[in-house]
Each structure stands twice: as structure tokens, then as C-alpha cells.
Amino acid sequence: MKNSNKKILLVEDDHNFGSILKEFLTLNDYDIALAKNGIEGFEKFKSNKFDLCILDVMMPYKDGFTLAKEIREKNENIPIFFLTARSLKEDVLKGFKIGADDYLTKPFDSEVLLAKIKNILNRKTFINSMNENSLKFEYKFGKFIFNSKIRELKYENNSPIKLSPKENKLLELLVLNINDLLPRDIALTKIWRDDTYFTSRSMDVYIAKLRKYLSLDSNIEIINIHGEGFRLFVK
């Protein structure tokens, strides 16, 4: 029962589909609270603690987009997953702009849904772990001292390098996972709050800048793990 402590809010106005999906997810060891519309969904959200929200977009009384905005006002970090019968580009973009973590168009493969849920929850666990470790703000690695609070990177007796906010956050994530993999999607979600082609290319630019700063120490390297992410390697 490895998923038994993972509680999911499922908001779906199609009674038959909602019941089938709830039963399917329950059989896969998730704890499901089913609501039949956005109003009921928000009431359940306020009175319970959830690990993930799965919201239908087209619903009476209160649609999924409106519900997601209200949920985001209460909790900025909870993963939100949209289900929709429409695959319009405008709907997809609107969902991601609100803060959706993923999107599925009906009908969909139930195994794909399970894989996406697992990925989102694993990412949430990873981020929570980093948040716990990020209470610290001064780090020493190689010949560098990095202070994330004042955004300064200092090499031995050289003058400190003032980092931009994104450089600072990206370096902090790398340091928190030193000699270990920093998944690309985690960094994009944590810093840019979006995982698209354009934000991915933007992150590559910041990685290049950090590599230049860190090149002062030959024992430090940011390694690109193709298709996965980056590793801050310190000999």
C-alpha cells in the first residue's frame, strides 16, 4: 500500500466517469475524495489536506480554471492536474498560466494518468526535501563560499561575484544536490514555474553563466546529464 498516504482531490461533474476514475485510483492505493462540481470541490479542499488535485475543466456552477485559482490562493505549491474533453491550445495555455502541473485530454490511457500522478508526487516530495534543506544559506564547496541570502559567490580572496536572482536560485539547487542529479523539470518548476522549450533554453543560458563563474576552481564542474538534468560535481 505504498500510495495509501497520498490523498487526492478529484473534482469531476460526470458521475459515471468520476466514480470509475475514483475506483481505479483507489485500487492503485490512492486515497480519493470525489466532488461533483467546483463548489463542492473547494469546500472539500478547505476542510482536508491533499497531496494533489485533479480537476475537470468544464463543470457547472464553477469551472476547473476558477477552482484552480481559488486553490492557488490557499496553497501555492499543491500540484494541480487538469482533465478536459477539449484540446484547444487556448485552454491548455490558460491552464498552465494558472499554475497547472499537467494536463490530459479525455479519453486518456489510465496507465498514462498513473504515471503522470506518480511523477508529480515524486517531484513534490523532492521539492519539499529541498525546501527543508534550504533553511541554510551559506555553503562551502571546493574553494568557493556561496551565500544565497545576499546572492554572493566568493572564490578564495577574490572579490565576491553578485549573482542574479535566477543564477542564485539555480546554484542553490545544484549545491543542495551536490554530486547528485538535479532533475531539469524540478529546476524549471522551482525557478521558472514552467517547463517549456523556451524556459528550458533560458535555464541553459544560466547554466553557462554559472559554469563560467565556477571555472576558477578546476575541481568543480557542472555536468549535463542528457535528457535528465545537471550534476554539480566536486572532486
Please state the rounded mean pLDDT for residues 21-34. Answer: 94
pLDDT at 122 over 90: no
pLDDT at 71 over 50: yes
Residues of the chain with pLDDT > 70: what percent? 91
Helix (H) or strand (E) holding 196: none
Task: Quote the cell numbers at residue 192.
Answer: 521558472
Rounded CA gap, 52 and 12, in Å?
14
pLDDT at 123 over 80: no
Domain with CATH 1.10.10.10 in the chain: 134-234
Q: Which amino acid is at 108?
A: F
| pLDDT of the residue at 124 | 67
Superfamily of domain 7-131: Response regulator (3.40.50.2300)
pLDDT at 89 over 80: no
SS3 51: coil
Confidence label for 25 from pLDDT (cuts 50, 70 and 90): very high
The residue whose grid cell reads 528550458 is 200
Q: What distance lies between CA 82 and its chain's CA centroid?
A: 15
| pLDDT of the residue at 193 | 75
Q: Torsion angle, CA of 158/139/225/120, rounded to 10 degrees? A: -140
The pTM of this model reads 0.58
Q: Torsion angle, CA of 178/129/103/113, rounded to 10 degrees? A: 100
Confidence label for 1 from pLDDT (cuts 50, 70 and 90): very low
Domain with CATH 3.40.50.2300 in the chain: 7-131
Q: Which of the residue ranges 61-65, 119-123, 184-188, 219-223 has the most confident prediction, judged by mean pLDDT?
A: 219-223
| pLDDT of the residue at 22 | 94
pLDDT at 177 over 60: yes
| pLDDT of the residue at 56 | 92
CATH hierarchy code of domain 134-234: 1.10.10.10
